[in-house]
Amino acid sequence: MTEAAPSDTDTAELAVSLRDVTKTYDNGVMALGPIDLSVRRGEFVSLLGPSGCGKSTLLKAVGGYLEPVEGEIRLKGERVERPGPDRMMVFQEFDQLLPWKTVQENVVFALTASGRLTGKAAAEKAREAIARVKLAKFADSFPHTLSGGMKQRVAIARGMAMEPDILLMDEPFAALDALTRRKMQDELLQLWDDTRFTVLFVTHSIPEAVKVGSRILLLSPHPGQVKAELNSLPRERADGEAAHALEERIHNMLFADEVEEDEEHHHE
């Protein structure tokens, strides 16, 4: 297995680090952990795990939305205790935009409400981000007139315009049709190539995790713990056989426990 985790000493390189993080909800459900993981600045990390293993819980914890969380979450060395514009989320749902504001206004609102930018600077930044996701023509449209994929692009544009320390993406393409989904993955990679923002990308699609992530973390079933981590393929080798082999290997790693359990049943 490839060990690609940054060491504890190069904290200047770290966007986010989690140490011994667990989350138990009010109803007594332990949803996550203990988790240790780090994301370097400019890194694109895919987080892959079965449904209910705590992926969304982990992202919300990094977002600062969950209190209390046991253990330690640091953003650029500082402890995370509340939400902040330094961490932007892109959710799976298409309804993350304010319906009474246009595309342009939605992005401007995030910039001004957070105090990031004001006036012309905010408008200019928003226009730029919207153009990057190829929606310049729709800047004055309202969200209800856009397709699901277009709305997700607006949410991504808004997240990127804020220039957060980390972009947290929770299955952002899961509700899209297969063709649009593939296109969105390509576009996201293109954006990442251009600006190297830091991303923690949750998915339960193995091919998607392999395609978009430069490093892939595998979580065990509920409560999720990091079970393995691998480097993805260099982009030029990511098509065809090599990708399939890696996907197969990840599949086997993710489901190894289940197979063992099944076999034990057989022996009973």
211 lies in the site for ligand ATP, by CB under 6 A: no
Q: How far apart are CA 142 and CA 267, in angstroms?
A: 60
Compare residues 37 and 108 and give the one whose CB is closer to ligand ATP: 37
Contact 218, 185 (CB under 8 A): no
Compare residues 56 and 112 and give the one whose CB is closer to ligand ATP: 56
**CB 54, min distance to ligand ATP, A:** 4
**CB 42, min distance to Mg ion, A:** 25
Q: What are phi and psi of 185, to 5 degrees?
A: -60, -45
Contact 175, 190 (CB under 8 A): no
Q: How far apart are CA 119 and CA 49, in angstroms?
A: 42
Q: In the beta sheet, which residues pair with residue 168?
A: 89, 200
Q: In the Cβ-directed half-sphere of 1, how many Cα atoms lie within 13 Å?
A: 14
What does R_g of the chain's alpha carbons equal in angstroms? Answer: 19
Compare residues 24 and 56 and give the one whose CB is closer to Mg ion: 56
Inter-axis angle of helices 148-161 and 103-113, nearest 10 = 30
- The option from Mg ion, ligand ATP, none interacting with 231 (CB < 5 to 8 A, set by class) reads none
174 lies in the site for ligand ATP, by CB under 6 A: no
The only residue of 4, 6, 24, 29 in contact with ligand ATP, by rule CB under 6 A: 29
* Contacts for 77 with CB less than 8 Å, ≥ 6 apart: 11, 14
Give the three-class secondary structure for 12.
Answer: helix
**CB 91, min distance to ligand ATP, A:** 11
Where along the sequence are the contacts to Mg ion (CB under 5 A)? 56
Compare residues 58 and 161 and give the one whose CB is closer to ligand ATP: 58
Q: How far apart are CA 227 and CA 219, in angstroms?
A: 5
9 lies in the site for ligand ATP, by CB under 6 A: no
Distance, CA of 108 to chain centre: 22
- The option from Mg ion, ligand ATP, none interacting with 31 (CB < 5 to 8 A, set by class) reads ligand ATP
Q: What are phi and psi of 45, to 5 degrees?
A: -105, 125
**CB 206, min distance to ligand ATP, A:** 13
**CB 173, min distance to ligand ATP, A:** 13
> Scanning residues 40 to 69, which ones bind ligand ATP (CB under 6 A)?
49, 51-57
Q: How far apart are CA 241 and CA 247, in angstroms?
A: 10
**CB 71, min distance to Mg ion, A:** 20
Mark the segment that binds ligand ATP (CB under 6 A) among 23-31, 95-103, 176-184, 246-254: 23-31
**CB 21, min distance to ligand ATP, A:** 13
Compare residues 54 and 159 and give the one whose CB is closer to ligand ATP: 54
31 lies in the site for ligand ATP, by CB under 6 A: yes
